[in-house]
Chain A
Amino acid sequence: KQEVTQIPAALSVPEGENLVLNCSFTDSAIYNLQWFRQDPGKGLTSLLLIQSSQREQTSGRLNASLDKSSGRSTLYIAASQPGDSATYLCAVKAAGNKLTFGGGTRVLVKP
């Protein structure tokens, strides 16, 4: 059974600092890995999707890496801003389009 873990569970940084969020998974037989952002009381917004054959994906200040063999992904957010405060979730996709989510990392960026 696939298990996804995100460490740390919560993170607080001053504005301008780079953010590093970690995600690990137990079964490397995945189709892709996706990072989502969730604001309080809202649904999930997809940030980046990395196919299993890719090593990284970038969008603006966001960069996500994937090491399938070791079961790890890292999301980097450069030059953090207060608007980056949210919960970040990673999810791995297996057969049948099934997503298994981690517990999330709650991020607070202080002005």
Chain B
Amino acid sequence: EAGVAQSPRYKIIEKRQSVAFWCNPISGHATLYWYQQILGQGPKLLIQFQNNGVVDDSQLPKDRFSAERLKGVDSTLKIQPAKLEDSAVYLCASSFYLDEQYFGPGTRLTVT
């Protein structure tokens, strides 16, 4: 069974630029999560989708971050404009509804 796929794996941008990350969950997984992991910290949930609806986006900085999950499969997380403090690893995870979460390899973002 294929795991959670993410791209790109690495991205370097300048502050005030925009960036987008893509996630393809495990086939059949209804629930998709985006986490932000700052260096030296544990992952923090940004947004949780079930199918194509948002379940929880309480920790998403909505003035600059947006996410969508069209057709309830792939998802895109966007940052516009980026700030230095957005430098982090962005992890995508998926689960069969409320079962165990499986994590992708992450996208490492560096904002200069």
Residue A66 is within 8 A (CB to CB) of chain B in the complex: no
Determine, out of B64-72, B79-87, B103-111, the stretch whose residues face the partner at the interface. B103-111
A96 to B106, CA, bound (A): 23
Contacts of B108 in A (CB 8 A): 41
Chain B interface category by residue count: 20 to 34
Near A by CB (< 8 A), chain B positions 14-49 give: 31, 40-45, 48
Chain A interface category by residue count: 20 to 34
Residue A59 is within 8 A (CB to CB) of chain B in the complex: no
* B106–A46 touching, CB < 8 Å: no
* A43–B56 touching, CB < 8 Å: no
Determine, out of A13-21, A68-76, A100-108, the stretch whose residues face the partner at the interface. A100-108
Contact of A101 (CB < 8 Å), options: B43, B98, B99, B100: B43
* B45–A4 touching, CB < 8 Å: no
- Tell me the minimal C-beta distance from A49 to chain B in angstroms: 7
Contacts of B91 in A (CB 8 A): 43-44
Residue B75 is within 8 A (CB to CB) of chain A in the complex: no
Residues in B lying within 8 Å of A, measured CB to CB: 4, 31, 40-45, 48, 55-56, 91, 93, 95, 97-106, 108
Given A43-B106, A104-B41, 17 other A-B contacts at CB below 8 A?
A4-B42, A41-B108, A42-B105, A43-B105, A44-B43, A89-B42, A96-B55, A96-B98, A97-B31, A97-B95, A97-B97, A97-B99, A99-B45, A99-B101, A101-B42, A103-B40, A104-B40
